[in-house]
Amino acid sequence: MIQAPKGTFDILPDDAARRERIEAQAARILGAAGYRRIETPAFEATDLFERGVGEATDIVQKEMYTFDDGGGRSLTLRPEGTAPVCRAYIEHGMHKLPQPVKLWYVSSFFRAEAPQLGRYRQFWQVGAEAIGSASPETDAELIVLLAELLEAVGVKGLSLSLTSLGTPETRAEYREELRAYLHAREQQLSPDVRSRIDLNPMRAFDASDEATRDVMRRAPKLLDRLAPDDAEHFAEVRLLLDDAGIRYELDPTLVRGLDYYTRTLFEFSSDALGAQSGVGGGGRYDRLIEQLDGPPTPASGWAAGVERMMLAADELPVQGDLVDLFIALPTAAGVRPAFRLAREARRAGLQAQLELAGRSLRGQLRHADRIGARYVAIVGEDGTSLKNMESGEQRETSAQDVIPMILRGSRLV
């Protein structure tokens, strides 16, 4: 038996209905704030992610599905949406539009990660990007919008971590300071952390070993090293979040697996999830557009995982589709008028289904009952009868009268 590839899943109709609800909430909440939908291709030039997401990140190093398209071009299934949206912004000259350009998407993404609950190789994100504004209001508004989405979807046990990364220059200086701090305490660090001091000293903050954690508690923090304008920007973001009643925890060690972030950085987690507790996150990426050969353009955004939102929310019952009319065929003679009736009923706005399985009339009536049809039209050789499935009443009628009778909600008197 051929199965779906490891780390992927089928979206069956009940799941699709739940996803549609999330999508509808996102469209409502983001639409009301002036975000407009964008969709970019499922694959892009590999270069876009190498330069956009960052050569040194796990995503680029280990998790990309990269292939040769047969014509010597290296393409990659998109592992995230920010770099593609920035590519589209540049390619379509969107800097000429009124700024910021506010875009949202719900799309699937691909990462070759080890699958587990909440972590898949093809997954979906709702994302929002505001390109062309440096203001702290943009960041605060984006965070408020994500909080509203998560609440509307019913995500439980939420907490928000927040920090600011400042500029890449501040960060480079800070990294040097942290390296020196760690080198001076090498003996107390776990071998794993020790071996990565030069490569990625920030990783030391994620260590689980107690001696290392003790060293890290007293380590210098990036938040205390921000340049005055970055610190002011961050203070304004916090003020607006406080005003909006959004609770957050300052986490100066927050790291996210993407290299493009500057200034504001945030992540929502849910304690209703297991190890993969991040539901959605993002931040400001003021250098990315320029890095991708666009004009210097500040920007900010987030993405939230659809599967993780669903896992962290209470499952609401899914309502089956309402079937207004099932058209039964006792013999093949009624096929043509039945086929016509189905089309006309749908045009009139009814959900109408035609018998497609060659069942006996009894079998067809049982089927109509199973799918919850309100009415059954039995289209036979010598006429049509209409049965109200709720009351059980049935009466002879003409094919033309079926639709008006249903629209009137006829009790078939």
Footprint on this chain of ligand HAM (rule: CB under 6 A)? 80-82, 111, 113, 118-120, 123, 125, 127, 129, 256-258, 278-283, 285, 301-305, 307-308
- Shortest gap between Cβ of 249 and ligand HAM (angstroms)? 17
- Shortest gap between Cβ of 370 and ligand HAM (angstroms)? 35
Closest by CA position to 279, among listed 249, 301, 300, 310: 310
Residue labelled with tokens 């954690």:
213
Closest by CA position to 127, among listed 162, 164, 88, 171: 88
- Shortest gap between Cβ of 154 and ligand HAM (angstroms)? 15
Compare residues 287 and 387 and give the one whose CB is closer to ligand HAM.
287
And the tokens for 316?
Answer: 């609401």
Compare residues 81 and 136 and give the one whose CB is closer to ligand HAM.
81
Q: Is residue 397 a contact partner of residue 376, using CB atoms and an 8 Å limit?
A: no
- Give the side-chain half-sphere CA count within 13 A for 408: 9
Compare residues 179 and 256 and give the one whose CB is closer to ligand HAM.
256
d(C-alpha 234, C-alpha 133), whole Å: 15
Q: Is residue 303 a contact partner of residue 127, using CB atoms and an 8 Å limit?
A: yes
Compare residues 226 and 306 and give the one whose CB is closer to ligand HAM.
306
Compare residues 288 and 327 and give the one whose CB is closer to ligand HAM.
288
Cα–Cα distances (Å) from 258 to 60, 65, 192, in that order, read 9, 17, 21
- Shortest gap between Cβ of 112 and ligand HAM (angstroms)? 9
- Shortest gap between Cβ of 140 and ligand HAM (angstroms)? 15
Shortest-Cβ-distance residue relative to ligand HAM: 305
Backbone angles phi, psi at 353, to 5 degrees: -125, 145
And the tokens for 145?
Answer: 């919008």
Compare residues 81 and 334 and give the one whose CB is closer to ligand HAM.
81
Compare residues 131 and 345 and give the one whose CB is closer to ligand HAM.
131
What residue type is 169 in one-letter code?
Answer: E
- Shortest gap between Cβ of 69 and ligand HAM (angstroms)? 24
Compare residues 278 and 294 and give the one whose CB is closer to ligand HAM.
278
Inter-residue long-range contacts of 211-217, CB under 8 Å, 24+ positions, other chains counted: 212/188, 214/188, 215/182, 215/185, 215/188, 215/189, 216/253
d(C-alpha 7, C-alpha 152), whole Å: 28
- Shortest gap between Cβ of 123 and ligand HAM (angstroms)? 3
d(C-alpha 259, C-alpha 386), whole Å: 65
- Shortest gap between Cβ of 258 and ligand HAM (angstroms)? 6
